[in-house]
Amino acid sequence: MELNFRHQLSLVCFTLLLPALCISQDSFTCSRATFYGSPDCYGNPRGACGYGEDGKTINDGNVAGVSWLWKNGSGCGACYQVRCKIPQYCDENGALVVVTDFGVGDRTDFIMSPRGYSSLGRNADASAELFKYGVVDIEYKRVPCGYSGYNLMLKVHPRSRNPHYLAILILYVGGTNDITCVEFWQVDCQEWRPMRRAFGAVFDAANPPRGDIKLRFQVSGSAGLYWVESKNVIPSDWTPEAVYDSQIQLN
């Protein structure tokens, strides 16, 4: 079938407008979401961000795995408002979920915990209907994370061994900020040395400095790219699974 020039032009214009149609005035982006199985409806303790058991219950278990939003791990801990688009079932405010995992589905940007997916619904009956769909059209946007009473926290990974190997997990990154780099102060050289992003929100270093360890963090957010130094040190007698308060408040 041949199309005249006017019809061809209309088709081209519509195709070019499709991405714009999926960006609403309040900066929501169109996508799809599904959910993963969980015996207790909470998050996955084996999530790629490395949160472990903390990843199950953070944000009351309203968490999600994401694909390109994972950003090679720097997207871990980001908060998103997710709204589904079936008026008779979907809550107008949707769900607030925290990224704790990497996941790829059938053209889905979000693979949500059952608790997170259930929060999309207006009520329990509506949520039950959404589970029957399996995959739903959604719109989402990045929103600030708020952890009342928590500063940026550093948890020593259980595989760490003092003094030969240190890995830290970064928790409670507030606002709309990403931690893109971590460095420690090398006293004998009088310079900052980078830690490696081992995976997700976990950074590590072989043969870390002896004694107290001072850290700084490269933050990417609405204020641009900048460094912030921890007001607390990790003490020389650090132990695996210990949690230390950086006394940094990111908003």
Interval 47-66: pLDDT, tens: 999 999 999 999 999 999 99
Report residue 15's pLDDT band, with 50, 70 and 90 as the boundaries: very low
Mean pLDDT across the stretch 159-181? 97
pLDDT of residue 10: 41
Residue 231 is classified by DSSP as S
Report residue 78's pLDDT band, with 50, 70 and 90 as the boundaries: very high
**Selected residue with higher pLDDT from 176 and 10:** 176
Q: What is the dihedral of CA 49, 52, 57, 59, to 10 degrees?
A: -20
Interval 122-142: pLDDT, tens: 999 999 999 999 999 999 999
Cβ distance 234 to 203 under 8 Å?
Answer: no
Check pLDDT > 50 for residue 1: no
pLDDT of residue 24: 55
pLDDT of residue 5: 38
Range with lowest mean pLDDT among 185-189, 202-206, 238-242: 185-189
What pTM, to 2 d.p., does this model score? 0.89
Strand partners, 137: 32
**Selected residue with higher pLDDT from 20 and 131:** 131
The token pair that represents 242 in the structure block:
């210990």
Q: What is the dihedral of CA 85, 87, 93, 98, to 10 degrees?
A: -40
Name the residue among 61, 33, 216, 206 with its Cα closest to residue 133.
33
pLDDT of residue 53: 93
pLDDT of residue 204: 98
